[in-house]
Structure 1
Amino acid sequence: MDFYHSEDNNRLRHFVNWIVDIVVVIAFAWFLVYAYGTQIVVAGHSMLPLFASGDVVLMDRLSYDFGKPDRFDVIVFQREDQKMNVKRIVGLPGETVQIKNDEIYINGEKLEEPAGLGRISLAGLAEKPMKLGEEEYFLLGDNRDSSEDSRFSNIGNVSGSQIKGKIWLRMLPLVKLELIRSK
């Protein structure tokens, strides 16, 4: 009789251990999704060729809790009208940004940008030097001639509090699944 009783205890213990393992995995997955997995659907063509309209990307919400945004980071920010936009950081706090002759100048020096970004035919507000405040960032879309960004008064310079996170992964379409790195 003790043999069967012992076997039942082992089965119960095995079953409880299995349930605990499942709960731990679910809790860990929830943390990862909460911290690194906010889904954003890209709207419009302002980030071509990196993202097309309808692409689904994941935003890391914690990266800027422990660090500051960097030049060329692809980020999500919340506009004044509460819409979420995806853009690339070009100008950092305290810098002076100007666009002249289709080029970006930071503190009077030409910015060496990653290859593949669109040319800038419209300087907008950055036609004259723009001094960024202590917590302000200058953002541009990669498709410069089809982007509503910091060059225009309805967006302007973006405060650090408006930045919600950094894009780290394109999820959909699956054929374009890739990690997104700052250039």
Structure 2
Amino acid sequence: MGKSKKKNEWMGWAKTILIAVLIAFFLRSFVLVTSVVEGESMEPTLENGEIVLFNKFTYLFNEPERGDIVIINRPQKNYVKRIIALPGETIAVKNQTLYIDGEKYEQSFITETIQNYTGEIGPIQVPESSYFVMGDNRKLSKDSRNGLGFISEENIAGKSEFIIFPLNEWSMTR
């Protein structure tokens, strides 16, 4: 009877471990992904070396929104950028002021000094099913202005939820 009890206990642990592994696999494959921020293109919001948790599930039911920090899949590497303009919108930057569909858009997530590095843009219209993205550090960012072009919806892998490393930087991203 002692062997049977140990066998049942072992089977219980094996089932628990298997379920935990399956849940972790499901979350990693379909819901959450981590990404290491490389470079300075998203400073001051995200800094080089920080690990950010991205939610892959959110865009199955919701469209990306202006201001979302997203991970963009590209063949050579992934990029972390902020959505600035949505499909069908017209974007322009004149005298360091961002306009979306002719309306001034306040960029509260960056400083005025950083805004001054945005450059002149447009007006240009964002194609349907595409997005215009920029890094928060306009001086050093490769984005829709200078190399990435418009980002198609299928290339947006997830939305940034929060910084998980370093531990003293734990916070929600926005």
Instruction: Please classify the TM superposition score into its range, dividing by the shorter chain length.
Output: 0.7 to 0.9
Gaps of 5+ in 1: none
- AA of the residue aligned to 2:105: L
- AA of the residue aligned to 1:96: T
Distance 2:142 2:165 in 1: 23
**In the alignment, which of 59, 63, 68 is matched to residue 58 of structure 2?**
63
- Match of residue 154 from structure 2: 161
Q: Larger Rg: 1 or 2?
A: 1
Q: CA deviation at 1:10?
A: 4.0
Matched, 1:129 2:123: yes
Q: Which runs of 4+ in 1 moved over 6 A?
A: none
Matched, 1:47 2:42: yes
Q: Would you say the 8 A contact 1:77–1:163 is kept in 2?
A: yes
**Any idea what SS the aligned residue of 1:71 has?**
coil
Q: Would you say the 8 A contact 1:96–1:130 is kept in 2?
A: yes
Aligned-pair identity (%): 34
Q: Would you say the 8 A contact 1:36–1:58 is kept in 2?
A: no
Gaps of 5+ in 2: none
- Mapping of residues 68-107 of structure 1, within 5 Å: 68-79=63-74, 82-107=76-101
Distance 1:73 1:92 in 2: 11
Distance 1:158 1:42 in 2: 19
Q: How many residues align?
A: 172
Deviations 1:105-138 (A, max 9, x none): 11000112224443133425x2x21111111111
Q: CA deviation at 1:24?
A: 1.4
Distance 1:120 1:151 in 2: 14
**Any idea what SS the aligned residue of 1:64 has?**
helix
Q: Would you say the 8 A contact 2:91–2:101 is kept in 1?
A: yes
- AA of the residue aligned to 2:59: Y
Q: CA deviation at 1:53?
A: 1.5
Distance 1:159 1:19 in 2: 43
- Match of residue 14 from structure 2: 19
TM-score (norm 2): 0.86
- Mapping of residues 137-152 of structure 1, within 5 Å: 137-152=131-146
- AA of the residue aligned to 2:14: I
Q: CA deviation at 1:11?
A: 4.1
Distance change >3 Å, CA 78–CA 30, structure 1 → 2: closer
Question: RMSD between aligned alpha carbons?
Answer: 2.0
**Any idea what SS the aligned residue of 2:80 has?**
strand
Deviations 1:125-172 (A, max 9, x none): x2x2111111111111111222121112x2222111221221223222
Distance change >3 Å, CA 63–CA 121, structure 1 → 2: same
